[in-house]
Structure 1
């Protein structure tokens, strides 16, 4: 079977949480639960670094507005990790050229990262932090579930990842339109409250 479904799913997941992907793949490979994980991802130093960075992201990603800054920094990091993981998976399997795999994984990671970043910016408009925490937790659980599924049922996981990516794009477009309408109505209300300079409040006479 082509490694393309696994590469696509890994890229999607890396765009959401790159460190979780590296950590989970490494653990599944090191424990012998999967033979499809490259040795490079099972190295102790890689697992330790991925674990530390995963913990950092798990905390930072749940703090409103701080997560937006974190996403901005990872606009480059997540696609790079997605491309590297994809190339390693393709090189290990040998059924897809590494360059094509890296391009697929990196571009998919970039697309899912942009959806994630846009969604979190919209969620941050909420005055309470609980929605941000809930969304971040669902993202982490989703990455863990889909990566695990991808190692045993790669085609099904790829279909699910594609559906989630498409749903995310539609949600971003919808949220963006709602936010623009909300800001437009708020600007109109402010304009109505603001007194017009030089104009009397009541007509003369």
Structure 2
């Protein structure tokens, strides 16, 4: 296998998982159009996305997600529903790319694709849940447009500069490792605050929120 084809195979295997967790329909649409127009020679396992019906369905669902992603509350509901769609789709697409390399490679690719899809989906869903605490809708629009640009740009990069994409993906994963625990703590704190409104225990302030920590300390002294 030539180095260029190997690098593209690696980038596509990891990339479809990464992109599926953010916007599955945008990823399928971009890859399908790239393949059917002759812009890129997709691996055999991705030929299904070149089917006109698949492209049409992906385009229609992308338009639905394009609208849903920009409505506060609706975007979080959409993300919750797609927990059961993005993750297996990312695993299936990734494993299909290396399907002709044997069952071991297919299984490893599926695990990598599913894991990346789960990570990016968790980051997106968690970020959207926090964004929805803001009363203005512009942050939802900004996040949605940024995600779409990221997916389409990522597909272009993995097809044209695969090793650059892999390098960027490594940095992205390292940032996710740092970010996801913070997102989880922030979401838990948010739900505790919501629970406190209905008579639950008042949540402890998040680490780093010095003003709240000082206020709690003064209250304890008094």
- Displacement of 1:89 in angstroms is 1.7
- Note the C-alpha offset of 1:99: 2.1
2:82 matches 1:68: no
Q: SS of the residue aligned with 1:142?
A: helix
RMSD: 2.6
TM-score (normalizing by structure 1): 0.81
Aligned pair count? 188
Gaps (5+ residues) in structure 1?
A: 193-205
Distance 1:132-1:71 versus aligned 2 partners, 3 A rule? same
Which stretches of structure 1, 4 residues or more, deviate above 6 A after TM superposition? none
Instruction: Identify the residue that residue 178 of structure 2 maps to in structure 1.
Output: 170
Structure 2 counterparts to residues 1-205 of structure 1, below 5 A:
1=6, 3-37=9-43, 38-91=46-99, 94=101, 97-174=105-182, 180=189, 183=193, 184=205, 185=212
Could you say if the C-alpha distance between residues 102 and 29 of structure 1 is closer, same or farther in structure 2, counting changes exceeding 3 Å? same
Give how far 1:123 is off: 1.0
2: distance between equivalents of 1:120 and 1:158? Answer: 26
Q: Which runs of 5+ in 2 are unaligned?
A: 1-5, 194-204, 206-211
Question: Which structure has the higher relative contact order (CA within 8 Å, separation 6+)?
Answer: 1
In our comparison, the structure showing a higher alpha carbon Rg is 1
